[in-house]
């Protein structure tokens, strides 16, 4: 009887193990399929950028390029015709200044909402967070006419001011949740030693929030870099255009250039954000885990 029970248990365990392995292979197969679907556009982007217009038109779009030299000619054409240099400089300026100022202002707001005692903290938080509730498109018309009246339309100052303001609410939400979890005994000990609120913020809270702030900076910088809607409406002169706006104008004005030229421009425009992610990847991952 005992032998029969042991054999029955063994068979049950073997069936469970076989089912688990089968499920693992299914999950692995689905993951590989999703990865291939996700990577296919990147493959098309890269192989197209390394082809000349003649090679792209004559061969299959997904075929491997015959050489590496065409990408240089494609990049020169995009750089000169699309004025991509201005676009890269402008987007870098908007992203660096806008994301930095927005995250720093959000850190100060989160500090006040979590570490200072005053009435109406919930009201002020909901007022700030309401900036993420409404769709951004509803800001376009009032922003356009307001900028036109005060002279900020098609100016770098106007673009930076807008990005600084629009990027504040979401970091406030993240940093408020993070700072609420910090031990307030550090604040009390510092105040007993004579530190004021600014000293507590800069010397205690801000160093502890470095990881989440860097993660938020990268997220907001990427959003500003990829923004097309507001950069098209608020800054559409050649000297003010962002890199995405410049690529859009180039694609519309030079429709005969070919997809390979457009893909080269897209590849060039994506390199700075990829490099920034690799530079800050350690802080980004740590900041995400701490914020979660």
- Do both 118 and 194 map to the same domain? yes
Residue 65 located in a structural domain: no
Confidence (pTM): 0.82
- Do both 152 and 232 map to the same domain? yes
pLDDT at 256 over 80: no
- Do both 135 and 241 map to the same domain? yes
- Do both 40 and 145 map to the same domain? no
For residue 150, count other CB atoms closer than 10 A to its CB.
9
Which pLDDT band, with edges at 50, 70 and 90, does 121 fall under?
confident
pLDDT at 104 over 60: yes
Q: Which residue has the higher pLDDT, 58 or 158?
A: 158
Total domains, the chain: 2
Q: What is the pLDDT of residue 204?
A: 87
Residue 54 located in a structural domain: no
Which pLDDT band, with edges at 50, 70 and 90, does 6 fall under?
low
Residue 15 located in a structural domain: yes
Q: What is the pLDDT of residue 280?
A: 79
User: Residue 60, by phi and psi: left (phi above 0), alpha (psi -120 to 50) or beta?
Assistant: beta
Q: What is the pLDDT of residue 5?
A: 46
pLDDT at 63 over 60: yes
- Do both 133 and 245 map to the same domain? yes
- Do both 211 and 150 map to the same domain? yes
* Short-list 162, 156, 143, 154, CA closest to 91: 156
Choose the weakest-confidence range: 2-11, 89-98, 131-140, 187-196. 2-11
Q: Are 230 and 162 in contact (CB under 8 A)?
A: yes
Q: What are the tens digits of pLDDT across the range 142-185?
A: 999 999 999 999 999 999 999 999 999 999 999 998 888 888 88
Q: Are 237 and 186 in contact (CB under 8 A)?
A: no
- Do both 225 and 83 map to the same domain? yes
Q: What are the tens digits of pLDDT across the range 12-33?
A: 666 666 666 766 778 788 888 8
Q: What are the tens digits of pLDDT across the range 200-214?
A: 899 888 988 888 898
Which pLDDT band, with edges at 50, 70 and 90, does 288 fall under?
low
Residue 166 located in a structural domain: yes
Which range of residues forms the domain containing residue 11? 2-49
Q: What is the pLDDT of residue 12?
A: 60
Q: What are the tens digits of pLDDT across the range 213-250?
A: 988 999 999 999 999 999 999 988 888 999 999 888 88
Report the alpha-carbon distance of residue 254 to residue 248 in Å, rounded: 10
Alpha helices, DSSP H, located in the chain: 2-49, 53-58, 70-81, 84-115, 121-129, 140-150, 156-166, 169-180, 185-192, 197-200, 206-208, 210-226, 229-234, 243-253, 259-291
Residue 29 located in a structural domain: yes
Q: What's 231's domain CATH number?
A: 1.10.3720.10
Report the alpha-carbon distance of residue 290 to residue 273 in Å, rounded: 23
- Do both 163 and 28 map to the same domain? no
- Do both 191 and 264 map to the same domain? yes
Choose the weakest-confidence range: 94-108, 140-154, 250-264. 250-264
- Do both 179 and 34 map to the same domain? no
Q: What is the mean pLDDT of residues 73-82?
A: 84
Q: What do you get for the CA distance between the two ends of the chain, in Å?
A: 53
Element (H, E) at 258: none
Q: What is the pLDDT of residue 130?
A: 83
């Amino acid at each position: 009887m005992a032998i029969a029970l042991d054999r029955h248990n063994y068979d049950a365990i073997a069936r469970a193990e076989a089912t688990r392995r089968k499920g693992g292979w299914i999950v692995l197969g689905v993951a590989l399929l999703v990865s291939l679907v996700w990577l296919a556009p990147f493959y098309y982007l890269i192989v197209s950028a390394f082809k000349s217009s003649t090679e792209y038109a004559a061969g299959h779009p997904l075929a491997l390029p015959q050489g590496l030299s065409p990408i240089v000619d494609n990049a020169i054409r995009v750089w000169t015709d699309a004025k991509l240099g201005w676009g890269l400089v402008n987007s870098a300026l908007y992203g660096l200044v806008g994301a930095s100022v927005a995250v720093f202002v959000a850190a100060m707001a989160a500090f006040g909402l979590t570490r200072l005692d005053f009435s109406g903290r919930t009201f002020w938080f909901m007022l700030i967070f309401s900036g993420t509730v409404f769709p951004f498109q509803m800001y376009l018309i009032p922003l356009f006419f307001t900028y036109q009246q005060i002279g900020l339309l098609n100016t770098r100052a106007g673009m930076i001011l807008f990005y600084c303001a629009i990027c504040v609410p979401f970091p406030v939400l993240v940093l408020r949740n993070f700072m609420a979890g910090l031990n307030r005994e550090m604040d009390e000990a510092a105040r007993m030693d004579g530190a004021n609120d600014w000293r507590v913020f800069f010397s205690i809270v801000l160093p502890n929030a470095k990881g989440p702030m860097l993660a938020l900076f990268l997220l907001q910088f990427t959003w500003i870099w990829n923004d097309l809607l507001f950069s098209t409406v608020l800054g559409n002169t050649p000297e003010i255009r962002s890199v995405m706006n410049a690529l859009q104008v180039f694609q519309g004005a030079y429709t005969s250039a070919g997809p390979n030229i457009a893909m080269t421009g897209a590849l060039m425009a994506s390199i700075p954000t990829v490099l920034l992610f690799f530079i800050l990847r350690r802080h980004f991952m740590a900041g995400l885990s701490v914020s979660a």
